[in-house]
Amino acid sequence: NAGVMQNPRHLVRRRGQEARLRCSPMKGHSHVYWYRQLPEEGLKFMVYLQKENIIDESGMPKERFSAEFPKEGPSILRIQQVVRGDSAAYFCASSRRQGPRNTNNEQFFGPGTRLTVL
Amino acid sequence: GESVGLHLPTLSVQEGDNSIINCAYSNSASDYFIWYKQESGKGPQFIIDIRSNMDKRQGQRVTVLLNKTVKHLSLQIAATQPGDSAVYFCAEKAPWDTGNQFYFGTGTSLTVIP
């Protein structure tokens, strides 16, 4: 019963290159969340997706960042033309189907992808 | 904007002692809170949660207390063990309908001294 999987675990890119981060949610989970964590800081919400839909991208920078969660395959967080400030750990979490507003679905986190921009 | 923060960035305790980690939140409408533990190089791991209609919840060796009057959350760890050394985050749930997002505080680094 695999948990949330992320790959690669470590990614090094030069400024101006593209970074693609992948997240496979837990089996049975259809909700995916991406967070960014800078060194010695908390996690910052970026985007919330369901299959083929972006539900909330209010935490994602307007430029260079995009996310998708296709019908088949993992969720992808894509960062174009990376800059040094993009260096961080990017965590993906998944949860089961969203219930009524007053129920809460625990988010299970993956091990993260550590992006280093040279 | 609203934010979640922690009072103490670091905490050192002797093995066997009890630990208390504090968290302040500013969004009085938040209705759900979670404590996460993050070990070095790993993703956050759920410890315990509490809803806003409760003021206390106990788990195995952990207790979460919620004081809505002063918007304060605490995590108590009984008989702290070396394996408890990690960064602990509190997270609050945004009280909106569209998502299940959580907003995290900066974290407290707990070090257990053998």
**pLDDT tens by residue, B61-74:** 999 999 999 999 99
Contact B35, B64 (CB under 8 A): yes
Residues contacting A57, CB < 8 A, separation 6+ = A46, A47, A48, A67
The average pLDDT across A88-110 equals: 76
The average pLDDT across B62-87 equals: 95
Pairwise CB contact (< 8 Å): B99 & A55? yes
Pairwise CB contact (< 8 Å): B45 & A109? yes
What confidence category does residue B38 fall into, taking pLDDT thresholds of 50, 70 and 90?
very high
**pLDDT tens by residue, A12-30:** 999 999 999 999 999 888 8
| pLDDT at residue A35 in the model | 94
Amino acid sitting at position A37: Q
Residue A57 burial class via C-beta count within 10 angstroms: exposed 0-12, middle 13-18, buried 19 and up: middle
What confidence category does residue A6 fall into, taking pLDDT thresholds of 50, 70 and 90?
very high
Task: Calculate what percentage of chain A has a pLDDT beyond 70.
Answer: 92
Chain B positions in Cβ-Cβ contact with residue A32 (cut-off 8 Å): none
Q: Is the previous residue joined to A8 through a cis bond, with omega within 30 degrees of 0?
A: yes
| pLDDT at residue B8 in the model | 46
Contact A64, A85 (CB under 8 A): no
**pLDDT tens by residue, A34-71:** 999 987 778 888 999 998 899 889 889 999 999 999 99
Q: Give me the total of CB pairs closer than 8 Å, taking one residue from chain A and one from chain B.
A: 64
